[in-house]
Amino acid sequence: MLEILKNRRSIRKYKDKRIENEKIEQLKYAALLSPTSKNLYSWEFIIVDDKKIIRELSKARPAGSAFLKDAPLAFVVLGNPKVNDVWIEDASIASIIIQLTAQSLGLGSCWIQVRERDYDDNTTSGDYIKGLLDVPEDKKVESIIAIGYPDEERPVHKIEDLKLEKIHKNKYGL
Ligand SMILES: Cc1cc2nc3c(=O)[nH]c(=O)nc-3n(C[C@H](O)[C@H](O)[C@H](O)COP(=O)(O)O)c2cc1C
């Protein structure tokens, strides 16, 4: 697991290569194995591999999501506040589990933030995506995880660059 964490970087350029069904199946299982508060399963996922829909999804944010247009696969992570008030935590954990599983399968990925972001002055990014994908009103969109074979190399984070000051021992500041 540490190797997966060490080697993971956000990847925003993808090869024009489809992802094998077996890998998509594994991503699907990984998402469904994510821990969920009170075992309430507040999340749902929409797996998008239709190029036309992915292109439309890439417009969900004025900045920050355009790179999705060239990805072969996207996981749209949904949550339901009526099922659990901590749906954001559930959906975030599932999002990162999808990313780490992608890494373990030799795929690159990047999180696209949707919650609290806008498509334009009148429409949130979440509502834009819900309209595009026929998502029922009571659901929320947390993120889109863009996935594909990496077409860029990014250096791994160096151990010496890690922010050790973020870790405290026994009491804050120690
Ligand atoms: C909650 C969250 C939201 C993010 N939203 C976006 C986004 O909307 N667009 C994007 O290109 N990257 C997004 N990222 C990726 C971050 O920019 C990236 O993780 C950060 O720069 C660190 O780089 P690394 O992932 O390569 O270690 C997001 C990451 C997280 C955890």
Distance set, CA 144 to CA 47, 71, 159, 161, 169 (Å): 10, 11, 29, 28, 35
- Kindly give the distance from the C-alpha atom of residue 100 to the centroid of ligand 1, in angstroms, as a whole number: 13
Q: Is 10 helix (H, G, I), strand (E, B) or coil?
A: strand
Residue 108 lies in a domain: yes
Residue 33 lies in a domain: yes
In this prediction, what percent of the chain has a pLDDT beyond 90?
99
Residue 169 lies in a domain: no
Q: In which band, very low, low, confident or very high, does the pLDDT at 162 lie, cut at 50, 70 and 90? A: very high
> 110-142 burial string, b = 16+ CB within 10 Å, else e?
bbbebbebebeeeebbbbbbbebbebeeebbbb
Residue 73 lies in a domain: yes
H or E, element range at 48:
strand 43-48
Q: Which of 8, 146, 18 is nearest to 77 (CA)?
A: 146
- Kindly give the distance from the C-alpha atom of residue 64 to the centroid of ligand 1, in angstroms, as a whole number: 9
Alpha helices in 33-86 (DSSP H): 51-57
Number of structural domains (the chain) is 1
Assigned token pair, 123: 């429409």
Mean pLDDT of 3-25: 97
Q: In which band, very low, low, confident or very high, does the pLDDT at 138 lie, cut at 50, 70 and 90? A: very high
H or E, element range at 27:
helix 21-32
What is the reported pTM? 0.97
Residue 91 lies in a domain: yes
Are 143 and 95 in contact by the 8 Å Cβ rule? The answer is yes
Which residue range is the domain that position 8 belongs to?
Answer: 2-152
Mean pLDDT of 44-69: 98
H or E, element range at 108:
strand 108-113
Integer Cα distance of 2 and 88 in angstroms: 25
pLDDT for res 174 = 84
pLDDT for res 104 = 98
pLDDT for res 48 = 98
10 lines ligand 1 (CB under 6 A): yes
Integer Cα distance of 173 and 2 in angstroms: 26
Handedness of CA 108, 63, 28, 36 (dihedral sign): positive
Residue 57 lies in a domain: yes
CATH number at residue 38: 3.40.109.10
Mean pLDDT of 52-74: 97
Q: Taking 90 as the threshold, does the pLDDT of residue 172 lie above it? A: yes
Eight-class DSSP state of 160: G
113 lines ligand 1 (CB under 6 A): yes
Residue closest by Cα to atom 3 of ligand 1? 113
User: Could you tell which of 77, 100, 113 is best to mutate to test the pocket of ligand 1, judged by most ligand atoms within 8 Å of the CB?
Assistant: 113
Integer Cα distance of 144 and 113 in angstroms: 7
Residue 158 lies in a domain: no
Integer Cα distance of 81 and 126 in angstroms: 14
Residue 68 lies in a domain: yes
pLDDT tens-digit readout, 87-114: 999 999 999 999 999 999 999 999 999 9
